[in-house]
Structure 1
Amino acid sequence: MHQSVTSDAEPAAEPSGPPVAPPPRGRRRVPLGAALPLVGALALWQYAVLRTEPAELGGFGLLDALPAAYWAALALLTGGFWHCVRAPRRGGGWPLTYVLGLLLMERATQALVYPTPLYAWAWKHDAVVDHLLTEGRLETTGERLGDMAVYDQWPGFFAAQAALVRLTGAQDAAAYMAWWPLVSGLLLLAPLVLVYRTFTRDRRIVWTAVWLFCVANWVGQDYFSPQSLAFALYLGVIAIVLRHGARREGRVLLTALLVPLIVAIVVSHQLTPVMLGAGLAALCLTRRHRSWAPLVTLVVVFLAWNLTVSLPFLREAVPEMVRAFGDVRGNLETGYGSTPTGTGPVTVSWVARMLSGAVLLLAALGVLRRKALRNRARPLMLLAGAPLLMLVANDYGSEMIFRVLLFMLPGACFFAAAALLPRDARAEPASAGVAGAADAGSGSGGFGGAGGFGGAGRPGARRRTVAAGAALTVLTAAFVPAYAGKDRLSYFPPEEVELVRQVIDGAPRGSLVVAAHRNYPLAYASYWDVGHYWFLEDAKSHVEEVLDDPAGTLARDMSGVAPPGRAYFLLTRGQIANSEMNGMLGADELRHIERSVAASPLFERTGGNSAGVVYELRRTTGDSS
């Protein structure tokens, strides 16, 4: 009887040849070929972290500060992984250990180098957690909190973080959110491995696909955010459905296990349930993995939530969603304020695009050349293609293209790994039929050349193996500029955090903080008591008015604050960096605005340091409190 290709058991048969004596009992030796590169890479990485000084970041972000030892560590780690994952008897946990080392270098470097958490959006989410901790309840309408009320309508992630803050006794979520990228990366490992092992017993493909996913996931959705947790839950649901969803036995228990995951996704994030629905619907097109219960459960929970708790938001958002539906070109545009400007930002942007393009091209190559694997893993092709439908639906705040890429990666990286590797007949029994025979006999399933591990001895196979390893190294190195190349605008030094904190702590209830852009820490702090306004997000005509008469225009914009509230103008290095690097206003123009405010009798300087300055709008005679 033909053995099921979805079985996780290792094949019983071994290649012909003399029997191999079992290793003697006792202490097992640590293979130096696997251990030494890992130890050396981690030692170099630790040295590099200690030598990295982020005080002055340029247009290339963290790349300007990283020493050569970091790149040597990354190359050594990738080479050790490639040697380890291809070795025929290098089993055990070595591939996993190398992937963990990669996650450390990728996701923990910034947490160790920077003394404060990255990303203005992470600080925004910290403010939402603080709102739950301070107010102790959710807001069901936008009348009080404006646009921020939407977070209270999808509170799953924030409620969980508020509970974690209370449980750990931390002052706030900022105490640990710098480490969230590493945490979210670790959360993805188990579901990724389960998904890949559903379609292959070749551990080389499994772990190379996991490695490629870690490398290709540069889009920055792993920071302290609902998306990061929702994506891990999404992969968990997909993994369970792929492995057990179509089995009749235990289907009730399976659905009961999926319900908590689906509910957590629905109450935490707006987009992920839609992506999950598209993925589950795609799986229903297959016979082996068809399971209607998870899809029906998702639809019921999704409708129940959106027609009750999140209905206030949807009433305002649906007209815009209808307008954007079908406008693929508009949904792909990034819009004003998102155009990289300058040598560093432009270069980094192109490296990121080429990294994504290379992985997708490798995936296409793997699909074309590995016929048996393509037939067996057709559900992964469907899962990779389903997110593309969202490009028709909405622009998602000019971020849809990045979200689509994120949800395509699990399937794409599987076939990209297959393109880099030759076929192993022992771990990949060919599917019945012509397609399977073709894949088994061709021996050219990847860069590695000949099929199986024995192909390394054929002419040219060694060169192809080296070429595949070099390609993997280049892709791994490209992750660094794609992921950390914009740290000049993502990093906020302690002086900037302290300056903003002084403004927020000293602002009476009903105050207003005006800034050029929201890219600074604590930009949403106390948003339930203090208003925030960023003039670069207005129409270009109003920005031009600010440039023509900075002090007069800003004073008019800030004049509506009623006592005891106060109005503050804040300019920080984070705002300047974001404005310059994204093609809004240059540093000279922003400094011109600051000089006008400083010289105006309408404003009074109330604070400042090396990271920024703050001015308060003077009260008129009739405004005394």
Structure 2
Amino acid sequence: MPGLDSLPQVIPRREDAGTGTYGAAAVEGLGRSTEPWWRAGPRRNGALLAAVLVGLVGWAVSLRGIDVDRLGSYGLLAALPALWFVALGVLAIAAVVALSAVRPSGPLLACVGIALVIVLYATIPAVTDLPQYAYVYKHIGVTRFIEAHHGVDRSVDLYHRWPGFFALAAFFGEVAGRPDPVTFAAWAEPFFAVVDLFLVAALARTVLGGTRVPWLAAYLFTAGNWIGQNYFAPQAISFTLALAIYVIVAGQLTRGPGSPGSPGGRGSGRRMRLLRRVLGSAVDDPGPPRTATWPAGATIAAILVLTTAVVVSHQLTPYLIVLTVGVLTALGVVRPRWLVAAMAVISVAYLVPNVAYIRDHFGLFSGADAVANATNSGVYVELHKSAGKILYARAGLALFGGTWLAAVVSVVVLLRRRATRGVLLCSGAVIGTGLVLFLQTYGGEGRLRVFLFSLPWCAILIAAALLREDSPPRPLRAAVTLGALVTYLGLWLCAFYIPFDANHMTRGDVASAAWLYDHGDPRIPVMLGDTDWPGDYSPRYAEFARTPKPSYALLEDPVFRGNALGRAPATETAGVISTMGRYGPRGYLVLSQSQVAFAHSYGLAPDGTIARIGREIQADRHFTVVYRNPDATIYLFTRDAAEAH
């Protein structure tokens, strides 16, 4: 006899009495009520909508108390006022209460999700009005180059060989009358976060059906995506397109393996017998009923068009998509089989003309050792770590390990509930994503991309294990769900907001970059104190790109750090002269406040090092100040001809 927890709980709440008879048909239609959302439980929905508005108003008011110019080792996290956390808490509670309704309202859940995204992702652009991350300005420079020259130059760098995102951004800037993307790039993070929120909800709905579980999956994804790939970059749009492809594949090209009419049922007897042996009779689960089917030709065409858009925009994402769809095809879940082959052909065909460039500048493969690729951080060794930096690192690891562990536990729970179609789809997708680690470390970021691309599927598994679509959660289960969401949010805040002190760019930083690329000599190499400076910001960056760049930023050069740093001023200045002299008789040296924060956050040097170097070289005859503002100084280094010999 089944346990009480496994029986659908369809007894209407007091406020829903009189809205209809709850039978089997009504249970099947939970979350898909034909009544307008504002008339299904109006008191509950009205109160929740009011709570969302209160949370947003509280968030907006709290922004006045945030000062980004005085940040410590805990970054923006320590600068957030109490009202900001109260606003986030109100939204988290509203989310779980909305999910607990007998018939959850999709539009209301969407409003809660949008509010969560605004509070989490719009805080930084609202208080800074400039994009964070130094490397965003490189993307802005490429976009401005395309705007200025109405085309690309494949000889400049890698970005001109994968120009899809930059061409789209240039087109948007021209249409919007904003030729400098710095005016809108900061808002890319909340924009892509909102779009991804809806796509994850749609993906979960195609996999499991319903309303309650899909929106919880979308919330968990939003609160777990700490990687920071929503910024103004090709990865942001490529990931969004990947989600769109997954939604179409899962919604139009999959069936429960072995179910009547399933493509996976043809010619797959041996595979089906193996799946039944592993998963039991539940492998016949057909999944949610299909409400609409696209014409086969339109479905395939849409997938291939989206794949092509990804291929011309990003180097790694097409192969993550191909591996994911490939594993699902091998499991017999996706048909037709030739689709993944067509996607692979498009990806490889675009890569072939660029293979030599990739091989010469980056290396095509980093080896088949997945463990080595996953553990390669791709960054320099830190000299010391602050307490905030340690918390940031541990929060990220907790989100990594906690998400994957929770997903594994969720698989066990869902198999006991006979939800095998969802388990097979999500588990196969996660496995396919992880296979990329047998090919590339991607400059130490391979593990970050694997987590990002596996997160939607893991969120779906976790959400389905926490809640049941056919019945509202009891108080204990609702409390557990709230605890899971709050845990994700807390870890996200640590992982995303603490490093903001190192990612923050000031107007002085951007102004110094604009001056250098507009007025500097492109034949002179540019040395930075460390890498955190908005380089390549101008459309003229291509002229500077043709001049050989220093292999290291000053504080990252092992020769300089090992021989001069921290010694007597004369010795330290001699070390700077020697380091810059290796790249030519002249050079620009840029020192800025953003570099000071970066050096402190990542332990590149003891506090005060950059300021001390600035004072020492300013007194040396080899250096002349050519530009200065309160946040940045640019020096021109000149070595005598006699010294060169």
TM-score, structure 2 normalization: 0.81
Q: Identify the residue that residue 302 of structure 1 maps to in structure 2.
A: 347
The reply on whether 1:128 has 2:142 as its aligned counterpart is: yes
> 2-side partners of 1:615 and 1:132: how far apart?
30
Instruction: Indicate which of 356, 373, 377 corresponds to 1:334.
Output: 377
Q: Identify the residue that residue 71 of structure 2 maps to in structure 1.
A: 57
> 1-side partners of 2:107 and 2:35: how far apart?
18
Q: Identify the residue that residue 153 of structure 1 maps to in structure 2.
A: 161
Compute the displacement of 1:463 (Å).
Answer: 3.2
Per-residue CA deviation, residues 141-176 of structure 1 (Å, 9 max, x unaligned), is 3xxx3xxx1111111111111121222221311110
Per-residue CA deviation, residues 197-218 of structure 1 (Å, 9 max, x unaligned), is 1222331111000000000011
Specify whether residues 354 and 23 from structure 1 end up closer, same or farther in structure 2 by C-alpha distance, changes over 3 A only.
closer
Per mean C-alpha deviation after superposition, the further-off stretch among 581-590 and 402-411 is 581-590
Q: Which amino acid is the alignment partner of residue 530 of structure 2?
A: H
Q: What secondary structure, in the 3-state scheme, does the structure 2 residue paired with 1:120 have?
A: coil
Instruction: Indicate which of 507, 518, 527 corresponds to 1:514.
Output: 527
Instruction: Indicate which of 343, 347, 353 corresponds to 2:397.
Output: 353
* Contact 2:555–2:604 under 8 Å retained in 1: no
Q: Which amino acid is the alignment partner of residue 121 of structure 1?
A: Y
* Contact 1:156–1:267 under 8 Å retained in 2: yes
Q: Identify the residue that residue 497 of structure 2 maps to in structure 1.
A: 484
Q: How many pairs were matched up?
A: 567
Per mean C-alpha deviation after superposition, the further-off stretch among 509-518 and 487-496 is 509-518
> 1-side partners of 2:169 and 2:378: how far apart?
32
Q: Which amino acid is the alignment partner of residue 68 of structure 1?
A: A
The reply on whether 1:595 has 2:615 as its aligned counterpart is: yes
Q: Identify the residue that residue 218 of structure 2 maps to in structure 1.
A: 210
Q: After the TM superposition, which residues 215-234 of structure 1 pair with which residues of structure 2 at under 5 Å, given as runs?
A: 215-234=223-242
Compute the displacement of 1:389 (Å).
Answer: 1.7
Specify whether residues 250 and 493 from structure 1 end up closer, same or farther in structure 2 by C-alpha distance, changes over 3 A only.
same
* Contact 1:362–1:419 under 8 Å retained in 2: no
Consecutive unaligned residues of structure 1, counting only runs of 5 or more, are: 1-9, 17-21, 428-451, 457-461
Q: Which amino acid is the alignment partner of residue 303 of structure 2?
A: L
Q: Which amino acid is the alignment partner of residue 418 of structure 1?
A: A
* Contact 1:511–1:561 under 8 Å retained in 2: no
Q: Identify the residue that residue 505 of structure 1 maps to in structure 2.
A: 518
Specify whether residues 587 and 619 from structure 1 end up closer, same or farther in structure 2 by C-alpha distance, changes over 3 A only.
same
The reply on whether 1:551 has 2:545 as its aligned counterpart is: no
Specify whether residues 158 and 11 from structure 1 end up closer, same or farther in structure 2 by C-alpha distance, changes over 3 A only.
farther
Q: What secondary structure, in the 3-state scheme, does the structure 1 residue paired with 2:449 have?
A: helix
Compute the displacement of 1:91 (Å).
Answer: 1.9
Per-residue CA deviation, residues 208-229 of structure 1 (Å, 9 max, x unaligned), is 0000000001101111110010
Cα RMSD between the aligned structures?
Answer: 3.0
Per-residue CA deviation, residues 3-55 of structure 1 (Å, 9 max, x unaligned), is xxxxxxx9961369xxxxx9999988563332232122111111111221211
Compute the displacement of 1:328 (Å).
Answer: 2.2
Q: Which amino acid is the alignment partner of residue 122 of structure 2?
A: A
The reply on whether 1:617 has 2:630 as its aligned counterpart is: no
Specify whether residues 550 and 160 from structure 1 end up closer, same or farther in structure 2 by C-alpha distance, changes over 3 A only.
farther
Q: What secondary structure, in the 3-state scheme, does the structure 1 residue paired with 2:535 have?
A: coil
Q: What secondary structure, in the 3-state scheme, does the structure 2 residue paired with 1:587 have?
A: coil
The reply on whether 1:344 has 2:364 as its aligned counterpart is: no
Q: Identify the residue that residue 399 of structure 1 maps to in structure 2.
A: 445
Specify whether residues 338 and 162 from structure 1 end up closer, same or farther in structure 2 by C-alpha distance, changes over 3 A only.
farther
> 2-side partners of 1:541 and 1:296: how far apart?
49
The reply on whether 1:495 has 2:537 as its aligned counterpart is: no
Q: What secondary structure, in the 3-state scheme, does the structure 2 residue paired with 1:220 have?
A: coil
Compute the displacement of 1:373 (Å).
Answer: 5.3
TM-score, structure 1 normalization: 0.84
> 2-side partners of 1:255 and 1:341: how far apart?
50
Per-residue CA deviation, residues 47-83 of structure 1 (Å, 9 max, x unaligned), is 1112212111111111121100011111110001100
Compute the displacement of 1:579 (Å).
Answer: 2.3
Q: Which amino acid is the alignment partner of residue 165 of structure 1?
A: G
> 2-side partners of 1:338 and 1:219: how far apart?
20
Q: Identify the residue that residue 439 of structure 1 maps to in structure 2.
A: none
> 1-side partners of 2:641 and 2:330: how far apart?
72
Q: Which amino acid is the alignment partner of residue 356 of structure 1?
A: F
Specify whether residues 553 and 327 from structure 1 end up closer, same or farther in structure 2 by C-alpha distance, changes over 3 A only.
farther
> 2-side partners of 1:324 and 1:537: how far apart?
30
The reply on whether 1:474 has 2:520 as its aligned counterpart is: no
> 2-side partners of 1:216 and 1:171: how far apart?
34
Q: Which amino acid is the alignment partner of residue 395 of structure 2?
A: V
Q: Which amino acid is the alignment partner of residue 366 of structure 1?
A: S
* Contact 2:326–2:340 under 8 Å retained in 1: yes
Instruction: Indicate which of 452, 455, 458 corresponds to 1:409.
Output: 455
Q: Identify the residue that residue 535 of structure 1 maps to in structure 2.
A: 553
Instruction: Indicate which of 600, 603, 625 corresponds to 1:605.
Output: 625
Q: What secondary structure, in the 3-state scheme, does the structure 2 residue paired with 1:413 have?
A: helix
Compute the displacement of 1:138 (Å).
Answer: 2.3
Consecutive unaligned residues of structure 2, counting only runs of 5 or more, are: 1-21, 29-33, 255-261, 264-293
> 1-side partners of 2:430 and 2:208: how far apart?
17
